[in-house]
Structure 1
Amino acid sequence: MTTVLVIQAHPHTKNSLSVTVGKKFIDTYRKNHPNDKIIIRDLYANRGVPPLNDLTMEAWRKKKFQEELAPAEEKLLTDHETWLDEFMNADKYIFINPMYNHFLPAELKQYLDLTAVAHRTFKYTAKGPVGLLKNKKVIHIQSSGSIYHQEGKWGIIKFAFKKLFHISSSQSCALMDLGSLYLVNMLKFYGINDIDSIYIEGADANPSQRENTLAAAQKMATQKAINF
């Protein structure tokens, strides 16, 4: 049975474009793949992502040297292991998030920190790190107030040209979407190369086009979900 893990990194707000499009994708996928298992991991629910903090570091140190763990330390390491196993055991991933200041929400960054574990999702070799998660696939669904990806490579070329010659411009391009770049880089670091995306962009910059923007993204989600 194929397991699909939905990583929803969005606060619980109403009228979210990324969550709405994500739901359309999930509903369509479930309809076309009724035997697959879908797990929703809401990064904002309950206590959120298990932290990497002083308690975590001390617990790891104690575990390494086989020292007795305090109850809170044991609970934290158990939570880490549960979340990591869930991530590793999935076959497909759906990441859903808004863009925050050209990057990912902090909760999603923390989730990637939690899953970047040597000898589990990657390993070090004499030729550099090698990802251990093979034959998996991802779709990234992200909303942003401005437009970054619409012009593709041509937009990047224009952006780079203006920067090179110090031409003032308010134009955005994919290079400014640091969150998406980072997510893709981390997934490839884990060995996952089958990565697709749906960007819901410009609803804040062009509020009169919000419904059209949403409709286009939902149509794309329906099409992509069938063969995901």
Structure 2
Amino acid sequence: MAQVLLITANPKAAEQSFSLSVAKEFLNEYRNENPNDEIVELDLYKMNIPNLDEDVFNAWGKLQAGTSFDQLTATEKEKVSRLSDLVDQFVAADKYIFVTPLWNFGVPPVMKSYIDAVSVAGKTFKYTEQGPVGLLPDKKAVHIQARGGIYSGGPAKDMEFGDRYIRAVLSFFGITDVESVIAEGMAFTPNEAEKIKANAIERAKEVAKNFARPTVNV
């Protein structure tokens, strides 16, 4: 049995969100294909995700200098403990489903905070003489993204930093088995919005079938 993290970053209700609607159908298909897997849902907007702020850096500096955890302030203890829990949960999972809208050419801020929380040397990557090496090569991921405009081609093609960012981070962690399910153009052609969503759902169902299979290392 695999553990799957469903990581969503959208404050809207599912019926008001293209990305969450597509993700719902993806999960239904995945459960049909692989009902025994454990799916842990992380709604980032409802979670405590500490930013990498002064408290966190002060705590890390103290710990690196030999200060014991018990000597940290209460706030420092709370934040570094929470960050440690988040990365440990991420590392323990086998598969990841990221669900985001494209906001201002990138991901919502809360997703960036989550990525910061799980980007930890010695946990998700390590430094070597040849450069950084990802520590999660046996994992696989899917990114489900909704874009109001058209970013797969045309003048806005080079302005899409959401899916590209998720893929870059995952590659840095050693995760190269990554699929993207994109619904785009709903705001650009609102009369086609439902058709676009339907096409994205069909694509999501096909990807879900492959995602349900175990990762094969070559």
Could you state the TM-score of these two structures normalised by the residue count of structure 1?
0.87
List structure 1 runs of 4+ shifted beyond 4 angstroms: none
Q: How do 1:43-192 and structure 2 match up within 5 A? A: 43-47=44-48, 49-64=49-64, 65-67=66-68, 68-149=71-152, 155=153, 171-173=155-157, 175-192=158-175
The C-alpha deviation readout for 1:170-221, integer Å capped at 9, x for no partner, is x322x22112212111111100000100111000010000110111111111
Q: Report how far residue 226 of structure 1 moved.
A: 1.6
Q: Which runs of 5+ in 1 are unaligned?
A: 150-154, 160-170
User: Which residue in 1 is equivalent to 2:183?
Assistant: 200
Alignment correspondent of 1:210: 193
Work out the percentage of aligned pairs sharing the same amino acid: 40
Cα distance, 1:133 vs structure 2: 0.6
What residue number does 2:40 align with? 39
The letter for the 2-side match of 1:203 is: M
1:224 paired residue number: 207
Measure, in 1, the Cα distance between the counterparts of 2:134 and 2:206: 30
Contact 1:21 1:217 in 2 (8 A): yes
Of structures 1 and 2, the larger Rg is shown by 1
Work out the number of aligned pairs and report it: 207
CA contact (8 A) 1:12 1:44 kept: no
C-alpha contact 2:102 2:145 (8 A) present in aligned 1: yes
Letter matched to residue 62 of structure 1: K
CA RMSD of aligned residues (A): 1.3
Q: Conserved in 1, the CA contact under 8 Å of 2:163 and 2:180? A: no
